Amino acid sequence: MSKTGLEPRQAAVYLLDQILGDAPRLMSELLAAGALDKLAPEDRARAQRLATETLRGLERADRLLQKHLKKYPPLTVRNALRVGTVELCQGAAAHGVVNAMVTLVSRHRRLGQLKGLTNAVLRKIAAEGPEAWDALRAPRLPKWLRGPLVQAWGPEVVAAMERAHFVGAPLDLTAKSNPEKVAKATGGTLLPTGSVRIMQASQVSTMPGYETGEWWVQDAAAALPVRILDPKKGESVLDLCAAPGGKTMQLAAAGAEVTAVDTSEARMARVKENLTRVGLQARLLTEDARKVSGQWDAILLDAPCSATGTIRRHPDLPFAKDGSEFGALIELQSELLDHAWGLLKPGGRMVFCTCSLLPDEGEVQVEEALARHQDMRVDPDALKQPGVEADWITEEGGLRLRPDYWSGRGGMDGFYIACLRKAG
């Protein structure tokens, strides 16, 4: 572990350079490519936390910094200032933060001459920033995303979502068999829907029950699609777009005969690792879900989407994307839904879900699918699960979850979920 904190701070700045640069990349892509692999586990966690918290507070940090900058410095220096500002405004010791950021900039081959600027600006932030920080509004989403969301939900709801994004997300666990036992062992709280919530989580792999496979990490909202599908022991269940495998494990834990499908070999390797850790089994297929054949009793389709419902956990998403892929994703969702419907046995049921806040990827998809398939109906009774509130149910009979729900409990991911029944 770094004694000075320089290495994790330098790594955090590198992550921000890649996410906010001219060719933006998602943090998940950077981590998968080994961006932090050379760091000790504690430093790796700290670097990711610093980058994540800086992205959440980016608008506030920039507002404070612009008062002390005549013009914006190059991106790397700007990101060092941003990380330093967020740390200082969250109560970190000024001496350590300022020294680390000055050293970081001074070591840069092309930008070392800006170490004096870095020192001067961060000392001013240390004196004025913490008091000013809390007076600023919760950072807003970029216009490309905020506009469609305001159109869908209205400005007040979107502002509430933004407040939830800024707060971030606690750690949610899904128990393999005994949520009460997991809650007691981990010091967590049992949520109304059956997930276990940890407000102040330590390193996941060191938590009680991890090594013995008693639980896995899964947002409370993401755990609901399988509960709504309600798999039965011995049923043949198809899990399409399955990685990273949280829902696959839920299905297997219920005793279903699960076939999990995803296009990515690397992601399916992760599904296999997760299943092995928790002692569960499923048949794994690495292929395009649109090419799968066969007949199943029940199908779970967690379709590829904009992932706009996960911003409270992935604040890099609004900066690394621009919405240009929305059209292609919506078309893909329709194709997957239609193909999956043909794989469902008569009298069977399918849950369609997306971790999106956009109605075009949820409510509208189901409305249009109902018009295309005369043997399809929505089953709103399937939504009558513990903890599901009546005002979350939509006009067409689906379930709309938002990050501003459960604000007093720590929120939840944005999701759309619908249970579709096929005529017998």
Could you say which of 109, 133, 157 is where a domain stops?
A: 133
Same domain, 243 and 369: yes
Predicted local distance difference test score (pLDDT) of residue 2: 58
Looking at the predicted structure, is the pLDDT value of residue 112 above 80? Answer: yes
Q: Which residues pair with 421 in a beta bridge?
A: 349, 377
Residue-wise pLDDT for 211-231, tens only, equals 999 999 999 999 999 999 999
| Cβ-based neighbours of 23, under 8 Å, separated by 6 or more | none
> Tokens at residue 238, please?
């198809």
> Tokens at residue 150, please?
């305001």
What is the mean predicted confidence (pLDDT) over 161-171? 96
How far apart are the C-alpha atoms of 18 and 66, rounded to whole Å? 22
Residue at 218 is within a domain: no
Predicted local distance difference test score (pLDDT) of residue 424: 87
The 10 Å Cβ neighbour count of residue 210 is 18
How far apart are the C-alpha atoms of 5 and 76, rounded to whole Å? 18
Same domain, 229 and 127: no
- Which pLDDT band, with edges at 50, 70 and 90, does 164 fall under? very high
Same domain, 241 and 349: yes
Residue at 164 is within a domain: no
Amino acid residing at 212: T
Could you say which of 114, 133, 152 is where a domain stops?
A: 133
How far apart are the C-alpha atoms of 53 and 35, rounded to whole Å? 18
Residue at 74 is within a domain: yes
Residue at 195 is within a domain: no
Looking at the predicted structure, is the pLDDT value of residue 299 above 70? Answer: yes
- Which pLDDT band, with edges at 50, 70 and 90, does 322 fall under? very high
How far apart are the C-alpha atoms of 196 and 171, rounded to whole Å? 8
Same domain, 129 and 266: no
Looking at the predicted structure, is the pLDDT value of residue 4 above 80? Answer: no
- For 32, the domain range is 6-133
- Computed over every residue of the chain, the mean pLDDT equals 96
Looking at the predicted structure, is the pLDDT value of residue 3 above 70? Answer: no
Same domain, 262 and 113: no
Residue at 70 is within a domain: yes
The verdict on whether 419 is a catalytic residue reads no
What is the mean predicted confidence (pLDDT) over 76-87? 98
CATH number at residue 315: 3.40.50.150
The answer to whether the CB of 379 falls within 8 A of the CB of 419 is: yes
Closest CA to 84 of 108, 109, 103: 103
CATH number at residue 71: 1.10.940.10
Q: Which residues pair with 350 in a beta bridge?
A: 299, 420
What is the mean predicted confidence (pLDDT) over 68-92? 96
**End-to-end CA distance of the chain, in Å?**
61
Residue at 381 is within a domain: yes
Alpha helices in 21-93 (DSSP H): 27-32, 41-56, 58-66, 75-89
Vertex 115 angle, CA 113 and 116, to 5°: 95
Residue-wise pLDDT for 177-215, tens only, equals 999 999 999 999 999 999 999 998 778 989 999 999 999
Could you say which of 110, 133, 156 is where a domain stops?
A: 133
Residue at 40 is within a domain: yes
Same domain, 126 and 233: no
Residue-wise pLDDT for 10-64, tens only, equals 999 999 999 999 999 999 999 999 999 999 989 999 999 999 999 999 999 999 9
Residue at 378 is within a domain: yes
How many domains does one find in the chain? Answer: 2
Predicted local distance difference test score (pLDDT) of residue 200: 84
Of 89, 305, 353, 355, which one is the catalytic site residue? 355
Same domain, 237 and 378: yes
Vertex 44 angle, CA 41 and 50, to 5°: 140
Signed CA dihedral, 50, 51, 52, 54: sign only: positive
